[in-house]
Structure 1
């Protein structure tokens, strides 16, 4: 444990590992991380979705003018505008398709109030439904003390209502293991017509829990993701219990 400013520094490689231990970003080139190998396959895993709206490209160009000014603006946070012609209403939801070791399949999501249970099957629970994005976002908890009960989990995001607008949001999914670095998956691809996105696939293969980046956008909803990954559930139209304020 480092306690004093004058401690003996480790080697260069060790310094790099310590400095970068707080976050791992899953990318196309590096899409997989093992929770088991970093000792994080126990306790409650937390998965968070957060997002903010961004204006259309046209509004961006109108406000920022020249190419040089736009480049300089990349180093400044973009303020979120009030709703107007350049903005759209969007309600992103975090959800999880699950398949347990005994063959049980289902979904945990705000739609239909399928909020799950952390201490009983499926050992997954949704914290609530944030309809406006922001820093808190929506959160799923997965009880990895029951890791032997899981076969595979598909964490996905979908647009409940409003205009398909993944290209108009700054969205990211963050995974907080009980130990080791936070895992981050930005949803930055331009897919203006998509309504759903498979974000990560968590699998239990011979006792090892891995997280794999998917980031696959589809134009439909849960049923289309189901077909893409072969879950085999029956889907119908669902509604949230309370309307948007």
Structure 2
């Protein structure tokens, strides 16, 4: 089976001129975690503002937070203390978890054009032409590879800002029961991580990371702003000015 990373290098990772983008990917041993106190980092100063960049969302849930949890394996009576420890499971187990977290991106170009890249409505974007942002696909159950958005930073001069956000497609509030991490893998230097670990039991969307291109410097800033609505509310919060309507997911092979 061809890995997602190989798929990126062979296909989606090729720009208009056939260039294949490289990234540190999961092999980078260093990470910068953005927190409330240290909320911003400059990709330009790190020399990581060119080439292919990917942004990955992964999540998991505790079975104890889902109605009924999972059946304990046989032999648990031999180790009674195990029953006191919450069991962590991957969210791709459909029988256990029924939460569909989606990774998406609002974009604004230097020429003023704006839009969204998201699975809802089938707006998967493009790498070789504006917005130079592309969603790899839609992970319905939080598989280990998660969901990934690719950004072609070789065209960063045309990008004004990108807002990476997460929303719950089925509308069931579950941010207080999910352990989600957004990881940015630039072309060089350490990866950048943002954890969605704050309790927001009624929230349905969360603005996670804002990439801005100002004064010839590319920076990323932690947002982690939970809202009780969906894209239109994030739009108002950040002044995007798009028109929103009801949308549905499309299946992408």
RMSD over aligned CA atoms reads: 2.5
Indicate if the aligned counterparts of 1:25 and 1:184 stay in contact, CA closer than 8 A.
yes
Indicate if the aligned counterparts of 2:122 and 2:249 stay in contact, CA closer than 8 A.
yes
- The yes-or-no answer on 1:36 pairing with 2:44 is yes
- How far 1:108 sits from its partner (Å)? 0.5
Indicate if the aligned counterparts of 2:65 and 2:177 stay in contact, CA closer than 8 A.
no
Moved over 2 A (4+): 55-60, 77-84
Task: Tell me: CA distance 1:175–1:95, structure 2 relative to 1, closer, same or farther (3 Å).
Answer: same
Aligned to 1:226: 235
Which has the higher mean CA deviation after the structures are superposed, 91-100 or 164-173? 164-173
Task: Tell me: CA distance 1:144–1:80, structure 2 relative to 1, closer, same or farther (3 Å).
Answer: closer
Aligned to 1:205: 214
Distance 2:222 2:94 in 1: 32
How many residues matched?
213
Indicate if the aligned counterparts of 1:89 and 1:162 stay in contact, CA closer than 8 A.
no
TM-score (norm. length: structure 2) = 0.77
Indicate if the aligned counterparts of 2:165 and 2:209 stay in contact, CA closer than 8 A.
yes
Structure 1 unaligned blocks of 5 or more: 1-19
- The yes-or-no answer on 1:27 pairing with 2:35 is yes
TM-score (norm. length: structure 1) = 0.80
Distance 2:89 2:97 in 1: 15
Alpha-carbon displacement from aligned partner over 1:44-63 (angstroms, at most 9, x marks no partner) = 11000011222345979xx9
Question: Who wins on radius of gyration, i.e. which is larger?
Answer: 1
- How far 1:214 sits from its partner (Å)? 0.1
Alpha-carbon displacement from aligned partner over 1:85-126 (angstroms, at most 9, x marks no partner) = xx5511000000000000000000111110010000111111
- The yes-or-no answer on 1:134 pairing with 2:143 is yes
